[in-house]
């Protein structure tokens, strides 16, 4: 309910009971915020003084004098500060809501970047696994080449002190994975290379021809 100072009686003539009743009703229902916004603390105080002077009921007069007037004076002091505090709190609330929206938007962007990073990490891990397999295959190939190099070197070295080397027996197991070479010394070298069979036969032929 908004307060209007035009309704305040300033006449020295005793007001009618109906007018007093209306004034009591207005005083009882008007809000402190409305009084503050209208700047009507003084006017409402005068209205209460008028009621104290003319209300016939002593109990009502005492309530107005010892309760309402002191509280009105107290409210006059604290209401402006309270309203300012409330307005400041509302402003801060609006600011916090805006910051919250900004933070939520930033969080969404961070989550998108994080998801993209996780996908990239997964791709890198997959590529790393492939490279690791290739490295293992290359290492295995390296070991094979070193073994072939060692074996070929042995063949050439074994013929030098003894002149013409004996015919070498080449045996292949049923799995096709192991080639056994029986040298002139009676030793058997097992090689895990199926494709060496042809190469060894060719080496044997060349060694015999050059001896």
Distance CA(102)–CA(209), nearest Å, equals: 87
Distance CA 8, CA 42 (A): 11
Q: What is the structure's pLDDT at 131?
A: 93
- How far is it, in rounded angstroms, from Cα 197 to Cα 210? 20
Q: What predicted TM-score, i.e. pTM, was given to this entire model?
A: 0.37
CB < 8 Å & 24+ apart, contacts of 81-90: 83/33, 83/36
Q: Write out the chain's pLDDT in tens, 211 residues.
A: 444 444 444 445 566 677 767 776 766 666 666 776 766 677 777 777 777 777 777 777 667 666 567 777 777 777 778 878 888 999 999 999 999 999 999 999 999 999 999 999 999 999 999 999 999 999 998 888 888 888 777 766 665 444 444 444 444 443 344 444 444 444 444 444 445 556 666 666 666 665 5
- Taking the C-alpha atoms of residue 80 and residue 32, their distance in angstroms, rounded to an integer, is 10
**The pLDDT of residue 207:** 61
162 burial via Cβ count (<10 Å: 0-12, 13-18, 19+): exposed
Please compute Rg for the chain using Cα positions. 55
Ranges of each domain in the chain = 33-100
- Token pair 């604290």 is found at 78
Greatest alpha-carbon span in the chain:
154
pLDDT score recorded for residue 98: 93
Phi and psi at residue 162, in whole multiples of 5°?
-115, 10
Alpha-carbon span 192 to 196, nearest angstrom:
9
């Amino acid at each position: 309910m908004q307060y209007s100072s035009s309704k305040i009686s300033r006449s020295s003539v005793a007001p009618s009971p109906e007018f007093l009743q209306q004034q009591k009703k207005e005083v009882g229902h008007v809000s402190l915020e409305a009084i503050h916004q209208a700047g009507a603390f003084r006017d409402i105080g005068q209205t209460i003084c008028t009621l104290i002077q003319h209300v016939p009921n002593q109990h009502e007069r005492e309530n107005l004098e010892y309760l309402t007037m002191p509280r009105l004076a107290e409210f006059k002091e604290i209401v402006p500060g309270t309203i300012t505090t409330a307005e400041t709190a509302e402003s801060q609330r609006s600011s916090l809501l805006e910051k919250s929206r900004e933070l939520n938007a930033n969080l969404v962007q961070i989550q998108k970047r994080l998801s993209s990073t996780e996908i990239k990490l997964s791709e890198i891990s997959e590529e790393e696994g492939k490279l690791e397999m290739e490295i293992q295959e290359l290492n295995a190939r390296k070991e094979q080449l070193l073994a072939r190099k060692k074996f070929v070197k042995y063949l050439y070295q074994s013929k030098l002190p003894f002149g013409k080397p004996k015919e070498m027996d080449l045996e292949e197991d049923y799995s096709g994975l192991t080639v056994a070479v029986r040298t002139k010394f009676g030793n058997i070298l097992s090689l895990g290379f199926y494709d060496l069979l042809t190469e060894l036969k060719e080496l044997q032929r060349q060694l015999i021809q050059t001896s």
